[in-house]
Amino acid sequence: MSKYKLHPVSALINLAKALKDMAIPIVIIAVANGFNFTVDFRDEKFFSQMIPLLILLVVVAFTFLGGILKWWTFRYWFEDSELRIEYGLFVKKKRYIPFDRIQSLNYREGIFHRLFGLVQVLVETAGSKTGKPEAELTAITRAAADQIEWEMNQEKLEQQPVEEQMIQMPTGRIIHKMSPKDLIILATTSSGIGVVVFGVFAALSQFAEFIPFDWIYDEFAELIQYGVAIVAFLLFFGLLGAWIISVAISLLNYYDFTVTEENERLIITRGLLEKKRITIPLNRIQAIKIVENPLRQPFGLAAVQVESAGGGFTSEKEKKITLFPLISKKEALERLALLFPQFDLYIEEKQMIKPPKRARAYFYRIDFLWLVPLVAVPTYFFFPYGLLTAVLIIPVILLGIWQHKTARLFLLDAQLTIIYRHISRITFFVEKRRIQVAEQRQSYFQKRKQLATGRVVVMSGMTGAEAKAYHMEQKDIEHMMDWFEHKKASTE
pLDDT digits (tens, 9 = 90+) for 420-472: 999 999 999 999 999 999 999 999 999 999 999 999 999 887 678 899 999 99
**CB 62: neighbour CB atoms within 10 A?**
11
Q: Is residue 258 part of a domain?
A: no
Residue 209 clears pLDDT 80, i.e. is over it: no
Tell whether 243 and 370 lie within a shared domain: no
Question: For the segment 338-348, what is each residue's pLDDT rounded down to a tens digit?
Answer: 999 999 999 88
Question: For the segment 128-179, what is each residue's pLDDT rounded down to a tens digit?
Answer: 655 678 889 999 999 999 898 888 888 767 666 655 545 444 557 889 999 8
Tell whether 471 and 373 lie within a shared domain: no
Residue with more model confidence, 363 or 125: 363
How does DSSP classify residue 45?
A: T
Q: Is residue 311 part of a domain?
A: no
E-assigned strand segments in 398-461: 408-411, 415-421, 425-431, 435-441, 451-458
What pLDDT shows up at residue 317? 47
Tell whether 358 and 443 lie within a shared domain: yes
The span from the CA of 73 to the CA of 88, in Å, is 6
Tell whether 370 and 484 lie within a shared domain: no
Tell whether 357 and 465 lie within a shared domain: yes
Q: Which domain holds residue 482?
A: 351-362+403-491
Tell whether 358 and 477 lie within a shared domain: yes
What pLDDT shows up at residue 455? 96
Residue 265 clears pLDDT 90, i.e. is over it: no
Give the CATH number of the domain where residue 428 resides: 2.30.29
The span from the CA of 311 to the CA of 441, in Å, is 31
Residue 70 clears pLDDT 80, i.e. is over it: yes
Q: Structurally, how many domains does the chain consist of?
A: 3
- Domain end call among 253, 275, 292: 253
Q: Is residue 269 part of a domain?
A: no
What pLDDT shows up at residue 377? 82
Mean pLDDT rounded to a whole number for the chain: 81
Residue 315 clears pLDDT 50, i.e. is over it: no
Tell whether 389 and 479 lie within a shared domain: no
Rounded average pLDDT over 484-490: 66
- Domain end call among 253, 277, 306: 253
Residue 124 clears pLDDT 50, i.e. is over it: yes
The span from the CA of 110 to the CA of 115, in Å, is 9
Tell whether 413 and 461 lie within a shared domain: yes
**Are residues 136 and 110 in contact, defined by beta-carbon separation less than 8 angstroms?**
no
What pLDDT shows up at residue 131? 60
- Domain end call among 253, 278, 308: 253
Tell whether 357 and 460 lie within a shared domain: yes
Q: Is residue 217 part of a domain?
A: yes
What pLDDT shows up at residue 249? 82
The mean-pLDDT minimum among 170-184, 274-288, 394-408 falls in 170-184
Interacting residues of 309 by C-beta distance below 8 A, sequence separation 6+: 284, 286, 458, 459, 460
Tell whether 246 and 369 lie within a shared domain: no
Q: Is residue 38 part of a domain?
A: no
Specify the DSSP element, H or E, that contains 201.
Answer: helix 192-206
Confidence of residue 221 (pLDDT cuts 50, 70, 90): low
Tell whether 355 and 449 lie within a shared domain: yes
Q: Is residue 485 part of a domain?
A: yes
Residue with more model confidence, 411 or 368: 411
Question: For the segment 90-113, what is each residue's pLDDT rounded down to a tens digit?
Answer: 888 889 998 888 888 899 988 888
Q: Is residue 131 part of a domain?
A: no
Tell whether 189 and 246 lie within a shared domain: yes
Q: Is residue 159 part of a domain?
A: no
The mean-pLDDT minimum among 2-11, 24-33, 132-141 falls in 24-33
Residue 15 clears pLDDT 90, i.e. is over it: no
